[in-house]
Amino acid sequence: LLAILVAACSGGDKDTTTEASKDKPIIIKFSHVTSIDSVKGKAAEQFKKLVEEKTDGKATVEIYPSSQLYGDADELDALVSGNVHMIAPSVTKMVKLDPRWQYVDMPFLFADRDHAHKFFQSDLAKSLLNSEILGNNDIMGLEFWENGFKHFTNNKQPLQKPEDFKGIKFRAQAGKVLESQFNALGAGSATISFGETYAALQQGTVDGQENTFNNIDTQKYQEVQKYMTLSEHGRLDYGVFVNKPFWDKMPEDIRKQVEEALRESTELEWQLAFDENAASLENIKNSGKVEVLELTDAERDAFSAAFESVYEEFGETITPELLDGIRDLK
């Protein structure tokens, strides 16, 4: 691990990293928090392969998965300072710079996967990726990568209706919207980094968490959770962000090829998100360790009503423009 850290940190954002030659390719350092077999881990590998093919080896991608280099607390800072050149965090973690990214946590905002895809391709999404606040921090967003809908898991009891959440403590990714979501159900929450969540569940620091099938499965939460409610109450998707000075310094022809590789990887990533989440649901069910609960339409409506307070509290912060704009894309 030390060797990886030294190798990764010593390059920094020196000019040499953007000089391309056959023997010394441009190295794009890409840090992320999920495992290599997760949706994001597999998509990162595909991106690396496409970059090498399209640039004929003049650029490559060094991938640092599983929070081995930077975790939730510091990967954004590492991107801003140029210690890594690319990250793909769950967008809610961008709340550090811009609270509007918490749109993704507004309960039941997205009707289905198609709705999320329409948003990814919309001008609204582009305006978030290219916002002034990100530019002022030397970063810019290039693409949206998908993961999928989140589901609740916990160890205490089957969660079928809002009242069942009373007194249960959940791990949350980041930000006040998720805190408010859990409060609306009478539950507690604690922000815990992704890399520490398995241990927090195992040790009982928290009783539950919310995540996509694929994150649950690839982190093996089924080993430390007893119940999973198929709630689809919120989404977990990624923004692919790059360090702007690094990006701008790349020779134009190579940058174009890398961007083309990212575009193609994005299409592959969306398909991967669908396939891997479906396979992960089967894995979770087949583990025999988790009781899987479905919600009727009436039960879903009860959650929707309970979450109205989240909209009252955060509608202005996330902005009506963004929330109404997303609803209009349905």
Shortest distance (Å) from residue 215 CB to ligand LMR? 5
Of the pair 48, 151, the CB lying nearest ligand LMR is at 151
For the bound state, the minimum distance from the C-beta of residue 259 to ligand LMR, rounded and expressed in Å, comes to: 22
In the complex, minimum distance from the CB of residue 109 to ligand LMR, in angstroms, rounded to a whole number: 17
Among 8, 26, 28, 33, binds ligand LMR (CB under 6 A): 33
DSSP state of 101: G
Q: In angstroms, what CA-CA distances link 45 with 168, 188, 199, 250, 298?
A: 38, 37, 27, 21, 42
Name the residue with the smallest CB distance to ligand LMR.
90
From the list 173, 225, 229, 265, which residue makes contact with ligand LMR (rule: CB under 6 A)? 173
Contact 243, 84 (CB under 8 A): yes
90 binds ligand LMR (CB under 6 A): yes
Minimum CB separation from ligand LMR for residue 158, in Å? 22
d(CA 185, CA 163): 7
Q: Draw the binding track, 194-233, toward ligand LMR (x: CB under 6 A; -: no contact).
A: x----------------x---x------------------
31 binds ligand LMR per the rule CB under 6 A: no
Phi, psi of 19 (to 5 degrees): -90, 120
d(CA 126, CA 4): 34
CA distance 209 to 151: 8
Stretch that binds ligand LMR, among 1-9, 33-41, 57-65, 244-252 (CB under 6 A): 33-41
Contacts of 119 (CB under 8 A, 6+ apart): 110, 125, 144, 326, 329
